[in-house]
Amino acid sequence: MRETFYVTTPIYYPSDRLHIGHAYTTTIADALARYHRLAGRDVFFLTGSDEHGQKIQRRAAEKGMPPQKYVDEIVASFQELWRRLNISYDDFIRTTEPRHERVVQHIFRRIQEKGDIYKSEYEGWYCTPCETFWLERQLVDGKCPDCGRPVELLREESYFFRLSRYQERLRRHIEEHPEFIQPASRRNEMLKFLDQGLEDLCISRTTFDWGIPVPTDPRHVVYVWFDALSNYLTGVGYLQDEEKFRRYWPADLHLVGKEIVRFHTIIWPIMLMALDLPLPKTVFGHGWLIIEGDKMSKSKGNVVDPHLLIDEFGADAIRYFLLREISFGQDGNFSRSALIQRLNSDLANDLGNLIHRTAAMLERYFQGQVPEPGQAEDLDLELPRLAGQVVEEYRRCMETYELNEAWAAVWRLIGRANKYIDEAAPWALARQGQQDRLARVMYNLAETIRLVAILVYPAMPGTAQRIWGQLGLAGTVEEAGLAACQWGRLPAGLRMRREPPLFPRIEEEGEGVEAGRAGAGRSTAREGTAPGQTPAQAASAGVPAASASAPQPLPEITLEDFAKLELRVAKVLAAERVAGADKLLKLQIDLGGERRQIVAGIALHYRPEELVGRLIVVVANLKPARLKGELSQGMLLAASTEDGTALGLVVPERPLPPGSRVK
Ligand code: MSP
């Protein structure tokens, strides 16, 4: 039988639409599910919605809707978000489904029969937003210690669950299984929490009715957390599909935010102990996404809507950012400028350039076909060696939940491959007629891209598959799996297509521009791409490598000669292709109060929509000319490699008003 991997997310409250924080957890779970599928495991990935309780009942009342109708609408929006984010869950559990109600009632009855549930009276505090009971002494300034919001005094008849009876058994389990609560800091917090002693837990309510009735006493509804945690059993067929349940239980990973680790590592394991079921292997409490140092909340008005981000940047870009930018386990800041920086440096620049340059050179030197690898020199052995190490490190990091490190390793390989282009200088090999070595270099590059497609698949499934297709490979990345990461499996003779950039560079007005450029610059330094690049060059579709464009010396000129050139900054207002000329773009530009049209031969390197809004540099006093019948009143500046496979615009490094003189 294949090894299994069962991963869950929290089931989210339909008290509001989901924000980027929820998308964060679900994206991580999805990346892990996809990784384990790649590794050949039989994966079950469960998410869902936590639909009962006082909070939801009140929200529905505020909206003037029956609770079921209210949750139906919101839950549909959850599923729509997961569809758009490409979340590959195997089941979506709703706690209002009959299959779940049956399981919860059964669990309640079974624990009651065991003598671990008794009836008494609860008198104490309750935080409705957190759906949590608090003792007087636990409050902070009379407020909820978790969320800081006001609490309500309750006094009602309730059923209680004897947590206290299991306290020592739980402590032993936590101590003997260091992998049970991760990261270690949360494990220590939970051990400290246990030191204070466990109170029995109130697990029913009578003052509202939006919940699952207690089977033996239907005036009570089951406490929403007791109900919600049980979803992890319902979702894998507990009491319904014994074969499925035996296959996947216990869960390998409950992925949750740090604020609900306590429910998952104290209440949940004790419920399972009372049911004589094995405990999940790991509960991982990740950190929060923070917005400019602040917790996201509706009242602060800083809630980030994932739909808008997907509209603007695409699902894969957002997924990659969430997985790469935030140190897994710790809190991390989310900001638009950090997002743009990351996308420009890692995706547009590092990954985009590697693919674009390789495809362009394969086309130029081998009619697009991956050649049989020829003789290797020492330099050519380095990339395969590094690739082997990176695949190993990537596996280890994914298995031990050091996710950022896994992506960092992949980007080390991408960075090395970009540098390899500069060092191996295929254009020079072509010029010198070293066809054999050239074939080796190009094969190495295409093979690295194939491995990268597999490795980035958990983070960017759509992109990975596109790269796979661009290489001419058949089938899906998922079918190929991690086993296909062995170096040398790329068959010669495949045709790699040249395609528009996967991730066009994002330019923003004002601060965004600077932030974006700083990002590209940082990446250049970090990944060791060709020295001497301006960030914009580095980020454009083809990186002119320093060694690639070694200029032929021209006769000396004087300063007066240079002063004859009127070089000015211009802003691109509109751009379109020129009919019948596949290399030309027609640009409308603002030269500082003056509008002009110029025609530029950059259509193979830039798409028109990428250019609009950008600042460029033009020779403003060039004699006007007509190209393909279109008037060109000036010329833009761009740098390119000697062989023309890579080209980048020359741009001011900071935003400047159009018309600014370049000298
Ligand atoms: N319904 C309960 C969970 C029951 S699980 C048996 C619940 N729901 S929730 O809608 O409030 O979702 C909380 C979870 O959403 C967090 O644990 C975390 O996974 C995710 N996040 C919500 N806001 C977040 C951030 N700002 N940052 C990161 N994750 C966030 O609690």
**Residue 258 structure tokens:** 């740090």
Mapped onto helix, strand or coil, the DSSP state of residue 619 is: strand
Q: Which residue has the higher pLDDT, 272 or 613?
A: 272
Nearest CA to ligand 1 atom 13: 12
Q: Does residue 588 belong to any structural domain of this protein?
A: yes
Any idea what the CATH number is for the domain that residue 518 is in? 2.40.50.140
638: left (phi over 0), alpha (psi -120 to 50) or beta: beta
Instruction: For residue 597, give the DSSP letter.
Output: E
Ligand 1 atom with the shortest distance to the CA of 228: 6
Is the domain of 442 the same as that of 562? no
Is the domain of 539 the same as that of 648? yes
Q: Does residue 96 belong to any structural domain of this protein?
A: no
Is the domain of 473 the same as that of 573? no
Is the domain of 528 the same as that of 621? yes
Q: How confident is the model at residue 553 (pLDDT cuts 50, 70, 90)?
A: low
Using CB atoms within 10 Å of the CB of residue 642, give its burial: 0 to 12 exposed, 13 to 18 middle, 19+ buried: middle
User: Cβ(610) to ligand 1 under 6 A?
Assistant: no
Q: Tell which residue, 662, 472, 477, has the closest CA to residue 570.
A: 662
Report the C-alpha gap between 170 and 484 in whole angstroms: 42
Is the domain of 516 the same as that of 647? yes
Q: Does residue 448 belong to any structural domain of this protein?
A: yes
User: Cβ(24) to ligand 1 under 6 A?
Assistant: yes
**pLDDT for res 644:** 76
Q: Average pLDDT over the chain, rounded to whole? A: 90
Is the domain of 472 the same as that of 516? no
Which residue range(s) make up the domain with 611?
507-662
Ligand 1 pocket test, candidate residues 19, 24, 127, most atoms within 8 A of CB: 24
User: Cβ(227) to ligand 1 under 6 A?
Assistant: no
256 C-alpha to ligand 1 centroid (Å): 7
Q: Tell which residue, 278, 182, 168, 170, has the closest CA to residue 232.
A: 278
136 C-alpha to ligand 1 centroid (Å): 25
What are the pLDDT digits (tens) for 585-601? Answer: 999 999 988 889 999 99
- Sequence-distant (≥ 6) Cβ neighbours of residue 420 within 8 angstroms: 379, 382, 383, 441, 444, 445
Using CB atoms within 10 Å of the CB of residue 246, give its burial: 0 to 12 exposed, 13 to 18 middle, 19+ buried: exposed
Nearest CA to ligand 1 atom 17: 257
Length of the chain: 663
* Final residue in a domain of this structure, among 451, 484, 517: 484
User: Cβ(100) to ligand 1 under 6 A?
Assistant: no
Contact 587, 636 (CB under 8 A): yes
Tabulate helix, strand, coil % of the chain (nearest 5): 45, 20, 35
Q: Tell which residue, 594, 596, 611, has the closest CA to residue 647.
A: 611
Q: How many domains does the chain have?
A: 2
Q: Tell which residue, 336, 649, 309, 317, has the closest CA to residue 510.
A: 336
Report the C-alpha gap between 226 and 208 in whole angstroms: 16
User: Cβ(267) to ligand 1 under 6 A?
Assistant: no
User: Cβ(21) to ligand 1 under 6 A?
Assistant: yes
User: Cβ(398) to ligand 1 under 6 A?
Assistant: no
Ligand 1 pocket test, candidate residues 50, 94, 286, most atoms within 8 A of CB: 50
Is the domain of 466 the same as that of 601? no
Q: Which helix (H) or strand (E) holds 229?
A: helix 224-229
Ligand 1 atom with the shortest distance to the CA of 288: 27
Any idea what the CATH number is for the domain that residue 448 is in? 1.10.730.10
- Which range, of 79-83, 253-257, 300-304, 318-322, averages the lowest pLDDT? 300-304
38 C-alpha to ligand 1 centroid (Å): 27
Is the domain of 511 the same as that of 656? yes
Q: What counts of helices (H) and strands (E) characterise the chain? A: 25, 26
Is the domain of 537 the same as that of 633? yes
**pLDDT for res 624:** 76
User: Cβ(25) to ligand 1 under 6 A?
Assistant: yes
134 C-alpha to ligand 1 centroid (Å): 20
Nearest CA to ligand 1 atom 5: 10
Instruction: For residue 166, give the DSSP letter.
Output: G
Nearest CA to ligand 1 atom 7: 12
Report the C-alpha gap between 604 and 508 in whole angstroms: 23
Share of the chain above pLDDT 70, in %: 93
Is the domain of 561 the same as that of 444? no
Nearest CA to ligand 1 atom 24: 21
User: Cβ(332) to ligand 1 under 6 A?
Assistant: no
* Final residue in a domain of this structure, among 484, 519, 538: 484
Report the C-alpha gap between 51 and 94 in whole angstroms: 7
* Final residue in a domain of this structure, among 484, 519, 540: 484
What are the pLDDT digits (tens) for 468-491? Answer: 999 999 999 999 999 999 999 999
Q: How confident is the model at residue 375 (pLDDT cuts 50, 70, 90)?
A: confident
Report the C-alpha gap between 381 and 544 in whole angstroms: 24
Contact 602, 585 (CB under 8 A): yes
What are the pLDDT digits (tens) for 231-248? Answer: 999 999 999 999 999 999
Q: Does residue 178 belong to any structural domain of this protein?
A: no
User: Cβ(641) to ligand 1 under 6 A?
Assistant: no
Question: How many CB atoms are located within 10 Å of the residue 15 CB?
Answer: 17
Ligand 1 pocket test, candidate residues 7, 8, 11, 12, most atoms within 8 A of CB: 12
Nearest CA to ligand 1 atom 6: 229
Q: Which residue has the higher pLDDT, 511 or 168?
A: 168
Q: Which residue has the higher pLDDT, 583 or 553?
A: 583
- Which range, of 135-139, 331-335, 424-428, 643-647, averages the lowest pLDDT? 643-647
What are the pLDDT digits (tens) for 497-551? Answer: 999 888 988 877 543 322 222 223 323 222 222 323 333 333 332 223 333 334 4
Report the C-alpha gap between 189 and 198 in whole angstroms: 14
Is the domain of 404 the same as that of 464? yes
Single-letter residue type at 620: A
Ligand 1 atom with the shortest distance to the CA of 289: 27
**pLDDT for res 531:** 29
175 C-alpha to ligand 1 centroid (Å): 26
Is the domain of 456 the same as that of 518? no
Q: Does residue 71 belong to any structural domain of this protein?
A: no
Contact 49, 14 (CB under 8 A): yes
Q: Does residue 436 belong to any structural domain of this protein?
A: yes
Q: How confident is the model at residue 552 (pLDDT cuts 50, 70, 90)?
A: low
With vertex at residue 654, the alpha carbon angle to CA 651 and CA 657, rounded to the nearest 5 degrees, is 85
**Residue 38 structure tokens:** 């790649």
Q: Does residue 475 belong to any structural domain of this protein?
A: yes
Q: Does residue 234 belong to any structural domain of this protein?
A: no
Single-letter residue type at 301: G
